[in-house]
Amino acid sequence: MSEKVGGLVTILATLLGAALLPAVILGVLLTAEDLPVFEPNGETALVQAIDNAFAPVDAEIEAGTEMVWLNRGRNGHNIIPEDRDPAWTFEDVSFVPGDEVSYVFQTPGTYRYYCSIHGTLTAGMPGVVVVTDPS
């Protein structure tokens, strides 16, 4: 690509970006406001943290269900949400053998997480909770 063409592309991209930005922000706000929230339904589901894996790795629950992670292994584990600014988290993300942590997922979506001691989002000790729309 020549410098001239490259410059044009940059300018176009900048203009386009500037034009799209408010729409993107608006979209996020609208989406956040539109996400359905379901009341706790009194149900619980279990993921066991063993050494060194979540079992099952993929859990599926209906929105409103309380997901419980129980440490049944010999090592301590933690649960780190995928996002830097997560919509869900715990007060204490670490739990030792015999302990449990829990969270009520009220909004449908796919929630990825991992244990930072024994892995990353993609290797070692990952997990995912798929929260479905009960309606």
Q: Contact positions toward another protein, by CB under 8 A?
A: 48, 50-53, 55-56, 72-76, 97, 116-120, 123-124
With residues binned 3-state (H G I as helix, E B as strand, rest as coil), the percentages for the chain, rounded to 5, are: 25, 35, 40
Strand 100-105 to strand 44-50: parallel, antiparallel, or no bridges (unpaired)? unpaired
Comparing CB distances to Cu ion, the nearer of 16 and 57 is 57
Binding segment (CB under 5 A) for Cu ion, from list 3-11, 24-32, 82-90, 110-118:
110-118
Instruction: Out of 118, 126, 129, 131, name the contact with Cu ion by CB under 5 A.
Output: 118
Strands, sheet with 80-81, edge to edge from the N-terminal-most edge strand: 58-62, 126-132, 109-114, 80-81
- Please give the residue ranges that form the binding site for Cu ion (CB under 5 A): 52, 77, 115, 117-118, 125
